[in-house]
């Protein structure tokens, strides 16, 4: 009796996960994101992206956390992306107003403002801003450099902003 060892060719899977930086878009200023497909064998499927962004300078700080459900439509390397979700926004601005001089000492009053205005007034933060996503995503068939541009309309209790956009660069695997 003879035994023969066979090797099966490893089947490659499409790059259904990605990490990327998005300038503008659902993260408002910028965000670092992780995106994945629910069906690991199909790029033309529903997925989700979660990110975090913001800044802290002098007395201002901003934290954004975009979360979106999205669907890719296309084949090969080129996809149309459609989705929607919400962005958590927390903003804080501190400043001191000179109040006077008494007994050789200056007095200041510290004010904290938690109202944020970027493309829409959020009111007091923390707050949620709804986002939609219409865009183009280029993903190499075997993974690698990812590129995308998106139109990201935003809305909340104070209105609707239809012309906000984002651009993303990252790595698909």
Tell me what pLDDT residue 1 has.
Answer: 53
Contact between 119 and 160 (Cβ < 8 Å): no
Owner of token pair 């529903």: 46
- pLDDT tens for 113-135 read 666 666 678 878 899 999 999 99
What's the CA gap between 17 and 4, in Å, rounded?
A: 37
pTM: 0.80
User: In this predicted structure, which of 19-33, 91-105, 139-153 has the lowest mean pLDDT?
Assistant: 91-105
Structural domains of the chain ordered from first start? 17-90+119-172 (2.40.160.20)
The per-residue pLDDT for 60 is 85
């Amino acid at each position: 009796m003879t035994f023969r060892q066979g090797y099966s060719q490893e089947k490659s899977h499409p790059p259904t996960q990605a990490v990327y930086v998005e300038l503008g878009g659902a993260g408002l200023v910028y965000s670092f994101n992780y995106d994945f497909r629910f069906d690991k064998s199909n790029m033309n499927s529903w997925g989700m992206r979660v990110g975090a962004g913001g800044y802290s300078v002098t007395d201002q700080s901003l934290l954004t956390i975009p979360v979106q459900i999205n669907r890719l439509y296309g084949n090969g390397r080129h996809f149309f992306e459609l989705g929607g979700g919400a962005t958590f926004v927390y903003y804080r601005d501190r400043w001191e107003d000179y109040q006077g001089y008494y007994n050789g000492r200056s007095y200041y009053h510290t004010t904290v403002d938690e109202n944020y205005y970027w493309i829409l007034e959020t009111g007091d933060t923390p707050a949620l801003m709804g986002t939609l996503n219409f865009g183009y995503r280029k993903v190499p068939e075997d993974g690698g450099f990812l590129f995308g541009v998106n139109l990201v309309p935003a809305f909340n209790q104070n209105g609707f902003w239809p012309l906000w956009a984002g651009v993303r660069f990252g790595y698909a695997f």
